[in-house]
Copies of this chain bind each other. A is one copy, B any other.
Amino acid sequence: MKVALGGTFEPLHEGHKKLIDVAIKLGGKDITIGITSDRMARARIRSVLPFSIRAENVRRYVIRKYGFEPEIVKITNPYGKTLEVDFEYLVVSPETYEMALKINQKREELGKRKITIVKVDWIMAEDGKPISSTRIKRGRLTDTAESFRFRCFPAGRARQAC
């Protein structure tokens, strides 16, 4: 049983946490969390915390809640390891669902079996629209969003939430 999930995880919000929760329920410790490289992340979102900090936030969430060290890999393209590894489940958000379909299409072209896609709907923000990193980054959700609770900043910066 192997479960994969991926994303930029910046800021780590309730939707991400739900995604991680579902992945761990499906795969236990046997999960692989792909986190985009800075170059990949910044192609979509101009300002993003470095990979090391984003990865550390995810790692802390898993350790605090589940007590184990998750496998985190840096991904430099949207497929990550999904074309090489025969994962049992691919846990995705509404934002990454289309990519999951592309992954399965590509796998089929390569003669590999499709991975079962499990889409977890985001928790909705107060305005009824989904919380997504992009919306938060674009300033369309305020700092009051609970999602900011797990945002960490490098030592020395003003805000230290973790």
* A-to-B contact residues, CB < 8 Å: 18, 22, 25-26, 89, 108, 114, 116-121, 123-124, 128
A119 surroundings in chain B (CB, below 8 A):
118-119, 121
Query: Of the candidates B25, B108, B117, B128, which one forms a contact with A26 in the assembled complex, judged by CB atoms under 8 Å apart?
Result: B25
- Our pick among B26, B89, B117, B120 for the contact of A116 (Cβ within 8 Å) is B120
- Residue of chain B at shortest CB distance from A119: B119
Partner of A121, one of B25, B116, B121, B124: B116
A43 to B: closest C-beta gap in Å:
27
Within the complex, the shortest CB–CB distance from A75 to chain B, in Å, comes to 22
A-B contact list, 14 entries, CB within 8 Å: A18-B116, A22-B89, A22-B118, A25-B25, A25-B26, A26-B26, A114-B124, A116-B121, A116-B123, A117-B121, A118-B118, A118-B119, A118-B120, A119-B121
A18 (CB) vs chain B CBs: closest residue: B116
Nearest residue, chain B, Cβ from A121: B117
- Inter-chain contacts of A121 with B (CB < 8 A): 116-119
Give the CA-CA distance A21 to B156 in the complex, in Å. Answer: 47
Chain B residues with Cβ below 8 Å from A123 are 114, 116
User: Residues of B contacting A89 with CB < 8 Å?
Assistant: 22
Q: Which residue of B lies closest to A15 (CB)?
A: B116
Task: Give the docked Cα–Cα distance between A118 and B118 (Å).
Answer: 6
Q: Give every chain B residue within 8 A of A18 (Cβ-Cβ).
A: 116
Chain B residues within an 8 Å CB radius of A114: 123-124
Which residue from B26, B108, B124, B128 sits with its C-beta under 8 Å from A22? B26
9 smallest CB-CB distances across A and B, nearest first, come from A119-B119, A117-B121, A25-B26, A25-B25, A118-B120, A18-B116, A114-B124, A118-B118, A116-B121
